[in-house]
Structure 1
Amino acid sequence: MDDKTAELRDVFLDATGTETVTERQSEARGSLVDAVDPERVTARLEELLETMREREEFETDLGTAAYLRLIDGFHDGATDATLADRLGIDAETVVRARLDCHLVRADDRDHPDFAAIRERIVDGADDEAVAAALDCDLAAVTRVRRVVAADRAATHANERFRDAFADLLTDADLSGRLASDSREDGLREATEDIETDVSL
């Protein structure tokens, strides 16, 4: 270590109080098992889940433990197929349970007629009418409806649950950077039907 390096090291130590530059980066992210205080994280997740159940009607009958594993796995980057294997359920149930918790993936909106389907759903059309009007698959319309409902519910809750899950299960700064584009897309989609003079 030359004098310049030693000087920079001393400055770093004075400023941060630690010798490890990459400590946060090397820590495992988003696992209930690896969390600093897993009991606190689990208890808080249970509280959030219970509050969501009181406010909204969940589409699946999964138990609390399964929902917690799903939320944790989602924030750890697991795919729906992986979550289905872990929970011993089908992927469609995973998607419905995930959307119950306002957890929308970018590819949930990946449908060529998403905007048109969403517009008709917001206007009050039922799935059959939307599918007939746009000549598209009824199942696709139903999937889009679930995504739209999850986005709107999250917006009406001021993103409270999405943010709380992210804060508990991911590094907040990293999560904010990675999720910002998807969050903005979802917010834009969810607020298109709200009449306001304020530009988002």
Structure 2
Amino acid sequence: MDEKTAELRDIFIETTGSDTVTERQSESRGSLADVDDPEEVRARVRDLVTTMRERYGFETDLSDDALVTLVVGYFDGDSDEDLAVELDAAPAAIRTARFDLHLVRDSDREYPFDADRFDKLLVEGADDETLAEKLDVPVDVIREFRPVAEADIRSTRANHRFRDDFTELLTDDDLSQRMAEDARRDGLREATEDIETDVSL
């Protein structure tokens, strides 16, 4: 232990009265990934869905049972069309429900304009007409992609908590790898870092 480290340790002990630095932070996440019972998994997914509905106020008309099925199907690789058939709903309704649940596909983010500028204008409160003018696209294009960006912004403000918990429950992938593969494009966090986390669009 060098002199600087020893000095910092002494300050820590003096301040806290303990020589134990910390426990492993990973232990505080619980044991979502250790649940093997499918019914228990569905129950935990339902709890997350209920929490999200209370926090955000969903646009979807689908029931919590249907949303649990949607989440499970999403992580099984089902398309919106597959889920629409299973849940007897329109693909557009499935898309809306996914966004309510912060489940955005890479294909949803194929923007025909500057995505980072779009995010910045959104968090500044620009309306559809202003966005269309600034990005030089028709208003209909803005209306198609606005829900995508808003879902990503909500997820970012929640530190991707819900998406990550769904992932941990419903996949065997290493979480960090999954996050890397499904990472939001560069610039989103910078665009939202000054926005309060409890503000919804």
Relative to the length of structure 2, the TM-score reads 0.71
Q: Which runs of 4+ in 1 moved over 6 A?
A: none
Report the 3-state secondary structure (helix = DSSP H, G, I; strand = E; otherwise coil) of the residue aligned with 1:183: coil
Relative distance call for 1:161 and 1:86 in structure 2 (3 A) is same
Relative distance call for 1:150 and 1:159 in structure 2 (3 A) is same
Aligned residues: 160
- Unpaired segments of 5 or more residues in structure 1? 1-34
Q: Once superposed, what is the RMSD of the aligned Cα atoms?
A: 2.2
Partner of 1:134: 135
What is the CA–CA distance in structure 1 between the aligned matches of 2:118 and 2:157, rounded to whole Å? 21
What is the CA–CA distance in structure 1 between the aligned matches of 2:117 and 2:156, rounded to whole Å? 20
Partner of 1:25: none
In the TM superposition, residue 134 of structure 1 has moved relative to its aligned partner by 3.0
Task: Report % sequence identity.
Answer: 39
1:171 correspondence with 2:169 = no
Partner of 1:189: 188
- Unpaired segments of 5 or more residues in structure 2? 1-34, 196-201
Give the aligned residue type for 2:193: I
Partner of 1:98: 98
Assess if the C-alpha contact under 8 Å between 2:152 and 2:184 holds in 1. no
**Which string of whole-angstrom CA distances, capped at 9 and with x for unpartnered residues, describes residues 95-141 of structure 1?**
11001000111111101213343332222111122223433232321
Matches for 1:107-146 after TM superposition, within 5 Å = 107-113=107-113, 114-146=115-147
Report the 3-state secondary structure (helix = DSSP H, G, I; strand = E; otherwise coil) of the residue aligned with 1:77: coil
In the TM superposition, residue 62 of structure 1 has moved relative to its aligned partner by 0.5
What is the CA–CA distance in structure 1 between the aligned matches of 2:134 and 2:156, rounded to whole Å? 28
Relative distance call for 1:190 and 1:59 in structure 2 (3 A) is farther
What is the CA–CA distance in structure 2 between the aligned matches of 1:133 and 1:102, rounded to whole Å? 26
Assess if the C-alpha contact under 8 Å between 1:152 and 1:191 holds in 2. no
In the TM superposition, residue 184 of structure 1 has moved relative to its aligned partner by 4.3
Comparing 134-143 and 151-160, the one that deviates more: 134-143
What is the CA–CA distance in structure 2 between the aligned matches of 1:157 and 1:118, rounded to whole Å? 16
In the TM superposition, residue 195 of structure 1 has moved relative to its aligned partner by 4.8
**Which string of whole-angstrom CA distances, capped at 9 and with x for unpartnered residues, describes residues 156-195 of structure 1?**
212110111001111141x54244132242x742432435
**Which string of whole-angstrom CA distances, capped at 9 and with x for unpartnered residues, describes residues 50-72 of structure 1?**
11011101111100111011111
Give the aligned residue type for 2:105: R
Relative distance call for 1:191 and 1:78 in structure 2 (3 A) is farther
**Which string of whole-angstrom CA distances, capped at 9 and with x for unpartnered residues, describes residues 2-26 of structure 1?**
xxxxxxxxxxxxxxxxxxxxxxxxx
What is the CA–CA distance in structure 2 between the aligned matches of 1:158 and 1:184, rounded to whole Å? 11
Report the 3-state secondary structure (helix = DSSP H, G, I; strand = E; otherwise coil) of the residue aligned with 2:182: helix
Give the aligned residue type for 1:80: D
Relative to the length of structure 1, the TM-score reads 0.71
Give the aligned residue type for 2:126: A
